[in-house]
Amino acid sequence: MSAHRAQTLEQLARLCRTGRDASLLAGTAPTGWAELDAILPGAGWPLGAVIELMPTATGIGELSLLMPTLAQFSRSERYVAFISPPYVPFAPALAQRGVQLHRLLVIETSASVDTLWAFEQTLRCNAFGAALAWCPFVKDREVRRLQLAAESGRSIGFLYRTPAAALEPSPAAVRLRLQANDKGLIVEVLKCRGARSGMTVAISCADSERASGSSLRSPASSP
């Protein structure tokens, strides 16, 4: 095992030994957007599941969509993880959106295999409410492993993929395509267990995005 992986496992083990709030142990976590909750079974993101997000372009508000959920988890004493984000998280913007920064863990990786490994370990750790990973190339069996890990930890795995991934089948519980409009996002349900696919909903998150600035700023490779 590499030293980097051993260090990550040690940190996750320490976090998993901490307690967690029981207020978010129901079947779903609210998305924070009434329009989206209205079309999702259980009126929110399913816990213990992998959710694929496929934005048609980078920087259209694909992270703002998750801000209410991430803030809720961090306030309930569960951690949030960003794994291999394409840009460095901009702490002031995240804090302005209600994310408790001491509950945020950023894991940088250099290869897809390490991204998926860190994603799986984080999802299995029940101290985490949600983990976000950016990994464009994922195989079907790898998504299945991530799904089992999320079920084990009762967490939510948000997996950012390219728009081309929509053409491939996936065992993920929810698959959403994200497109920009003049007020925010158009969210199209490509797949959702317990709901009809093909539904779309408009999310007006443009104002809140402008108010806080971009939550992901400079390239992750920058100093």
- For residue range 9-46, list pLDDT tens digits in order: 555 555 554 444 433 345 999 999 999 999 998 899 99
What is the pLDDT confidence band of residue 195, given thresholds at 50, 70 and 90? confident
**pLDDT reading at 50 higher than 60:** yes
Structure-model confidence comparison of residues 114 and 211, the more confident one: 114
Three-class DSSP category at 40: coil
**pLDDT reading at 187 higher than 50:** yes
**Six-digit token string for 6:** 């051993």
- For residue range 104-144, list pLDDT tens digits in order: 999 999 899 999 999 999 999 999 999 999 998 899 999 99
**pLDDT reading at 215 higher than 90:** no
Label the pairing between strands 185-192 and 200-203: antiparallel
Q: Is 154 left (phi over 0), alpha (psi -120 to 50) or beta?
A: left
Q: What is the pLDDT of residue 5?
A: 61
Q: Against a cut of 0.95, is the pTM above it?
A: no
Q: What is the pLDDT of residue 12?
A: 53
CATH of 3-16+26-219, one of 3.40.50.300, 1.20.1630.10, 3.30.70.120, 1.10.10.10: 3.40.50.300
The structural domains of the chain, with segments of one domain joined by +, span 3-16+26-219
**Six-digit token string for 164:** 């081309």
What is the pLDDT confidence band of residue 182, given thresholds at 50, 70 and 90? confident
Close Cβ partners of 33 (under 8 Å, ≥ 6 residues apart): 65, 68, 203, 205
